[in-house]
């Protein structure tokens, strides 16, 4: 089996996928070897933009609003078909959630900022089940490591099980598995899986070469193999979805889609000892390289991020530090949901939503280096960008002492740029026939702001051309023959490096 993956890089020496070599490892298992061969090229104006969906509410959303926001961001990324764009009847789907600390949190607020919100998980799972059905091999799993080795994912004797995972409120509590039967509550009947119960005999390994760790073996559950890797065995996954939460992290700075893979590590003891990767050594680079290796072994096909709350000290939140299940968690209401096919891009937007400078979170740069995704704001297409900017302003106003997140937590540093680009202008000149010159200019508000990252030319509200090379001023030269005889609307969108965006006034012209 041979694979070739084309990756875009902006820095030197790094490793990407160059091929896969099959070796027998237990029943029907195959090893993929991800080697050192690579091709270096710069991101440029021809490089594709990574899309990230964003939806929010001004106040804490109702359960129905949470479902609507989830549907909205999925549609922003996958189009009108929604999940049907990547999932079909009879597929096997795995959803990875974040279960660090079920049962933690103050009374009437358990689950807040601790676990992936069950409202999002249940809604996505039920949408998936509607598509895949129950027959013809269809399968749906909800997975995470639960810090105990028993196979039962909903053990009532273990405080970290799915049985205790819930969003607790005074008047209404939403559970993962209220009856403890091992299946997600609701109509999806998704199987819950404790990853810490899966031994190495029921895993396959992938060898990934990383700059610091060298050849690194990543052991994943067999049900995360591709159909091709499974070689005829029924234990594989067609579509892999991640539902991380918005949390800062004392070691990596931020924990999102990339960090969510860590729960796939084999077994409680080996994971807490971290295979020597970072934890216990104090070397963040080791953990970062290991996380990148895990993401390269099996990337998410789609990420839906629970940013309804922002955990400012997760997972080392107040309750865990004090060892009490009923102690409060240090979170704020952030009232948002994000979505992307690109784990690095969505983690970059998450980082900015927390108020951090992405350059202070080295995991993002390492993941970009490894070709996992894009961490450059200049090449991230943020949907709902006007809401994103105003939402950050509201968070700052309503949480004066807690937002942006704590500066220096996990070495992540907050930025101070909360102003949009200004003086965004365009001028249109005919160069004869259907050729037009669109002159533009834009400025940042203050000297200490992050700087302009991308200029877009919008025609009838849609991006027609863009540049990340000359952002302060320049000219788009366009052949508008396709619009001949029609009136069109043109305007400029100016982005900065923390994804603030401003629009010029709109100008109408009739194309010759």
**Tokens linked to 119:** 């409202």
**Tokens linked to 269:** 């003891």
pLDDT bracket for residue 11 (50, 70, 90): very low
Taking residues 223-240, report their average pLDDT: 95
pLDDT tens-digit map of 465-486 = 999 999 999 999 999 999 999 9
**Which phi-psi region, left, alpha or beta, contains residue 95 (left: φ > 0; alpha: ψ -120 to 50)?**
beta
Q: Where are the domains of the chain?
A: 33-411, 422-510
- Which pLDDT value is given to residue 320? 55
Q: Which residue has the higher pLDDT, 14 or 258?
A: 258
Q: Does the bond joining 303 to the residue before it have cis omega, within 30 degrees of 0?
A: no
pLDDT tens-digit map of 300-324 = 999 999 999 999 987 656 555 555 7
- CB atoms under 10 Å from CB of 95, counted, come to 25
CB 397 within 8 A of CB 369: no
pLDDT bracket for residue 375 (50, 70, 90): very high
pLDDT bracket for residue 44 (50, 70, 90): confident
> What is the C-alpha to C-alpha distance for residues 203 and 222, in angstroms, rounded to an integer?
5
- Does residue 84 surpass a pLDDT of 90? yes
The residue behind tokens 């053990």 is 155
> What is the C-alpha to C-alpha distance for residues 283 and 476, in angstroms, rounded to an integer?
47
pLDDT tens-digit map of 431-463 = 999 999 999 999 998 777 899 999 999 999 999
Taking residues 254-273, report their average pLDDT: 78
Please state at what angle helix 63-78 crosses helix 118-132, rounded to 10 degrees. Answer: 50
- Does residue 34 surpass a pLDDT of 80? no
- Which pLDDT value is given to residue 449? 87
Q: Which residue has the higher pLDDT, 317 or 30?
A: 317
pLDDT tens-digit map of 276-290 = 445 555 678 888 888
- Which pLDDT value is given to residue 35? 44
Helix or strand (DSSP H, E) at 320: helix 318-322
pLDDT bracket for residue 410 (50, 70, 90): confident
Three-state secondary structure call for residue 429: strand
- Which pLDDT value is given to residue 22? 27
pLDDT tens-digit map of 151-202 = 999 999 998 999 999 999 888 999 999 999 999 999 999 999 999 999 888 9
Q: Which residue has the higher pLDDT, 511 or 285?
A: 511
pLDDT bracket for residue 31 (50, 70, 90): very low
- Which pLDDT value is given to residue 327? 81
pLDDT bracket for residue 17 (50, 70, 90): very low
pLDDT bracket for residue 19 (50, 70, 90): very low
Q: What is the pTM of this model?
A: 0.89
Architecture of domain 33-411: 3-Layer(aba) Sandwich (3.40)
Taking residues 365-393, report their average pLDDT: 92
pLDDT bracket for residue 32 (50, 70, 90): very low
User: At the topology level of CATH, where does 422-510 sit?
Assistant: Immunoglobulin-like (2.60.40)
pLDDT tens-digit map of 104-122 = 888 888 999 999 999 999 9
CB 165 within 8 A of CB 102: yes
Taking residues 252-277, report their average pLDDT: 74
């Amino acid at each position: 089996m041979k694979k070739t993956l084309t990756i875009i890089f902006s820095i030197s020496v790094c490793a990407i996928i160059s091929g896969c070599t099959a070796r027998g490892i237990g029943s029907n298992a195959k090893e993929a070897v991800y080697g050192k061969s690579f091709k270096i090229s710069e991101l440029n104006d021809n490089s594709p933009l990574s899309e990230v969906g964003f939806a929010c509410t001004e106040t804490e959303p109702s359960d129905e609003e949470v479902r609507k926001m989830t549907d909205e961001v999925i549609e922003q990324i996958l189009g009108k078909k929604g999940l049907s764009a990547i999932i079909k009847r009879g597929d096997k789907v795995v959803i990875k959630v974040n279960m660090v600390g079920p049962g933690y949190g103050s009374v009437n607020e358990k689950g807040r900022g601790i676990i992936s919100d069950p409202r999002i998980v249940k809604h996505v799972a039920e949408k998936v089940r509607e598509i895949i059905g129950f027959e013809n091999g269809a399968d749906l799993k909800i997975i995470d490591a639960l810090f105990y080795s028993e196979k039962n994912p909903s053990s009532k004797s273990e405080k970290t099980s799915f049985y205790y995972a819930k969003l607790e409120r005074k008047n209404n509590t939403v559970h993962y598995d209220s009856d403890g039967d091992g299946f997600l509550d609701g109509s999806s009947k998704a199987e819950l899986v404790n990853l810490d119960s899966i031994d190495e005999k029921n895993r396959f390994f992938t060898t990934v070469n990383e700059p610091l760790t060298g050849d690194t073996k990543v052991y994943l559950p067999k049900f995360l193999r591709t159909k091709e890797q499974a070689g005829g065995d029924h234990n594989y996954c067609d579509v892999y979805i991640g539902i991380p939460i918005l949390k800062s992290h004392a070691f990596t700075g931020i924990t999102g889609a990339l960090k969510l893979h860590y729960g796939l590590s084999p077994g409680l003891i080996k994971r807490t000892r971290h295979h020597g990767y970072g934890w216990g050594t104090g070397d963040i680079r080791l953990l970062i390289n290991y996380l990148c290796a895990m993401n390269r072994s099996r990337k998410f096909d789609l990420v839906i991020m629970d940013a309804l709350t922002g955990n400012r000290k997760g997972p080392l939140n107040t309750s865990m530090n004090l060892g009490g299940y009923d102690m409060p968690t240090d979170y704020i209401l952030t009232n948002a949901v994000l979505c992307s096919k690109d784990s690095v891009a969505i983690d970059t937007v998450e980082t900015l939503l927390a108020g951090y400078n992405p350059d202070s979170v080295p995991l993002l740069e390492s993941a970009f280096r490894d070709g996992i995704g894009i961490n450059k704001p200049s090449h991230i297409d943020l949907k709902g960008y006007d809401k994103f900017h105003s939402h950050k302003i509201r968070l700052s106003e309503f949480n004066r002492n807690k937002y942006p997140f704590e500066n220096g937590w996990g070495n992540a540093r907050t930025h101070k740029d909360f102003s949009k680009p200004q003086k965004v202008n365009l001028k249109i000149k005919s160069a004869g026939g259907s050729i037009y010159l669109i002159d533009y200019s834009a400025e940042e508000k203050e000297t200490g702001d992050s700087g302009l990252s991308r200029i877009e030319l919008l025609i009838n509200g849609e991006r027609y051309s863009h540049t990340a090379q000359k952002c302060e001023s320049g000219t788009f030269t366009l052949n508008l023959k396709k619009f001949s005889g029609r009136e069109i609307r043109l305007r400029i969108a100016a982005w900065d490096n923390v994804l603030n965006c401003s629009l010029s006034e709109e100008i109408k012209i009739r194309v010759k």
